[in-house]
Structure 1
């Protein structure tokens, strides 16, 4: 098997040029980029004609009939044989894009599809899209509770793959900045907690950073991810909650958690919010004080923060543990290693190189390696009142 760059063994089919500015696609692009960094991979990212309504029509039709039309993707001539076809599907509707690349699946020995978001109650609604998954050799949903019902729907065993992030982007080391943001909140938020934090910001020297503009599009997705990371690593506290916690009707009360928990831990921020009540969270975030549970209906987050500010040693221990654990366990490179094992391929040297860099950063973050003196904590609120 030739693993030279001019003869790639992995074909990464990316939707970045179709949905690339959508904020929730950022982690997908990160994963694809890391695969290309550590393996011998070719990125295929087709584009759709923005003036065409074909994709919209094909998607609407598939909701009502078992007909999947090509949404307008150009035909890609087969150039070589690959060992693996890899694709990330953000939502079931994305599968209509993958269905249009039948000739590429034939050019790959094994095909793998990751499915980011599919709630159990939505399976019947997306049944026509989900038929595409049966054409892949390995299907890996990110949502653990969806694995069994999805397997039953497509007649093929699915394998759960946990979420991850580019932890090196979020890690503050080797040159950690001062944490000048007291609380960072992005995306969905609890109205009760939001109002309490706003009051804290108005009453004193307290920096509460939160979204003030709605929308789901970025000017540049890479820049957006870097900006989020830069803000998170400068934050003392980071708000987290399970996926769509404020829309139980949409989730059917299925409890799943997203990238926020990984981002907050990797940045060394103390996570405040609801601890996901499912079997997966305590397995992935199994270190002491991984987060502080604050129900989204709670009105006393100010008390929680003030109590934590009385114990700076505990804060530093929490920050260091979160950074080290994510660097050693929850970077995308470990998920790629899992996929390689599933398809029977050996890792290439680039994977070990990245793991070595992660290990070195983890040693710095845990206080075991060389680094500039870290300013892990801004002065607590009590000292500034």
Structure 2
């Protein structure tokens, strides 16, 4: 199998939300030796911003766009396809990026399979009508979302959870100097209460939180490395379900921050996502600790969690071990390939064995010390 990845994560991308794509791509490089193709946005069509144009084949702007520009994206030199089975995976954060397949022109028809993977929440009606016959299968981050894409757009779709690259970090149990970590999207009221209590003179706790509102960073790879190090030094990571955010359209998927936290050995505190199939992904003790509903209880509750150092350490070991056993990207890549009838590359199976050996080695150590 020859794998080609049409990716939104081009070198100019500095948006923190693309950290999930950075993690996926680094894993794909290590197991499948893919050829990456990075399209860039066609500046000629900025006047016809896809996000502001109704998704209707009868709309005048849509007809102009298809006649004049053919694609919202452009690519440079197209790679030749070698002998054998050639598979294209289109990976993006939104359905708009799936339109980049039009930029491949006649090359698109030469692939044996064309798959898509959308890594964030979206309105299923924004999956463009011109893509219905371009994708053999579409993977999305929610079970209900997959059903709605199939129903509304006639595209074969299924739920493929996010994951992270668990082989990279080593579990840190000794020097967790950050008591609480909160970054990106958060619960505003919880943040204000925690900030007022922990980040004041005289507090012996350290509450680390992001303070910027703009999404771009100087260097995405450096940002991902820094965040991984912060998580690896944090006792508790705050994670809240996201159905109240507009881009999730009322869906409640499990998002990248949960997998990052588990892989780093953080105890997760917050509100669990409620999407169908999510509970099965976190069926172990203390995979997530629910914050009480009453805000007046939050501070004493967090203080109790932080005071129980033995449980924090058990949570760290268990969360890391479960991430090794089920939430590495390698499992998702294998599931994606198997879903469409493709064999798993030998290198991918070898690295999955490595993940499981590490996890079972940890489990044996725990049992011997018990």
TM-score normalised over the length of structure 1: 0.83
Q: Which residue of 1 aligns with 2:365?
A: 368
The one-character-per-residue Cα deviations of 1:162-216 (angstroms, maximum 9, x if unpaired) are 11111233x433x655100000000122222112211222141111000112111
Q: Which residue of 185, 188, 213 maps to 2:185? A: 188
Contact kept? 1:78, 1:107, Cα under 8 Å: no
Q: Which residue of 2 aligns with 1:153?
A: 152
Contact kept? 1:30, 1:165, Cα under 8 Å: yes
C-alpha distance 205-142 of structure 1, shift in aligned 2 (>3 A): same
Q: Which residue of 2 aligns with 1:96?
A: 99
Mapped pair 1:320 → 2:317: yes
| Between 158-167 and 329-338, the greater mean CA deviation after superposition | 158-167
Mapped pair 1:23 → 2:22: no
Distance in structure 1 (CA, Å) of the matches to 2:44 and 2:54:
16
Distance in structure 2 (CA, Å) of the matches to 1:280 and 1:19:
35
Equivalent residue of 1:237, what SS? strand
Q: Which residue of 2 aligns with 1:214?
A: 213
C-alpha distance 22-134 of structure 1, shift in aligned 2 (>3 A): farther
Distance in structure 2 (CA, Å) of the matches to 1:177 and 1:222:
26
Q: Which residue of 2 aligns with 1:234?
A: 233
C-alpha distance 72-87 of structure 1, shift in aligned 2 (>3 A): closer
Consecutive aligned runs of 4 or more in structure 1 exceeding 6 Å deviation: none
Q: Which residue of 2 aligns with 1:83?
A: 86
Mapped pair 1:54 → 2:52: no
Q: Which residue of 1 aligns with 2:131?
A: 132
Q: Which residue of 2 aligns with 1:372?
A: none
Equivalent residue of 1:113, what SS? strand
Q: Which residue of 2 aligns with 1:333?
A: 330
Contact kept? 1:55, 1:72, Cα under 8 Å: no
Equivalent residue of 1:313, what SS? helix
Could you tell me how far 1:96 is from its partner in structure 2? 2.3
Equivalent residue of 2:285, what SS? coil
Q: Which residue of 10, 16, 30 maps to 2:3? A: 10
After superposition, where does 1:259-274 map in structure 2 within 5 Å? 259-274=256-271
Could you tell me how far 1:130 is from its partner in structure 2? 4.8
Contact kept? 1:184, 1:209, Cα under 8 Å: yes
Contact kept? 2:73, 2:99, Cα under 8 Å: no
The one-character-per-residue Cα deviations of 1:300-343 (angstroms, maximum 9, x if unpaired) are 32211222244333222222111000111111111110122123
RMSD over aligned CA atoms reads 2.6
Q: Which residue of 1 aligns with 2:119?
A: 116
Could you tell me how far 1:366 is from its partner in structure 2? 4.4
5+ residue gaps, structure 1: 4-8, 370-385
Question: How many equivalent pairs are there?
Answer: 352
Contact kept? 1:238, 1:272, Cα under 8 Å: yes
Q: Which residue of 2 aligns with 1:6?
A: none
Mapped pair 1:74 → 2:65: no
C-alpha distance 312-111 of structure 1, shift in aligned 2 (>3 A): same
Contact kept? 1:58, 1:71, Cα under 8 Å: no
After superposition, where does 1:159-198 map in structure 2 within 5 Å? 159-169=158-168, 171-173=169-171, 176=173, 178-198=175-195
The one-character-per-residue Cα deviations of 1:121-170 (angstroms, maximum 9, x if unpaired) are x334x25x25414311111111222111110122133111111111233x
Contact kept? 1:89, 1:114, Cα under 8 Å: yes
After superposition, where does 1:339-350 map in structure 2 within 5 Å? 339-350=336-347
| Between 192-201 and 107-116, the greater mean CA deviation after superposition | 192-201
Q: Which residue of 1 aligns with 2:36?
A: 43
5+ residue gaps, structure 2: none
Distance in structure 2 (CA, Å) of the matches to 1:159 and 1:250:
19
Equivalent residue of 2:54, what SS? helix
Could you tell me how far 1:87 is from its partner in structure 2? 1.2
| Between 336-345 and 76-85, the greater mean CA deviation after superposition | 76-85
Contact kept? 1:115, 1:141, Cα under 8 Å: yes
Distance in structure 1 (CA, Å) of the matches to 2:53 and 2:98:
11
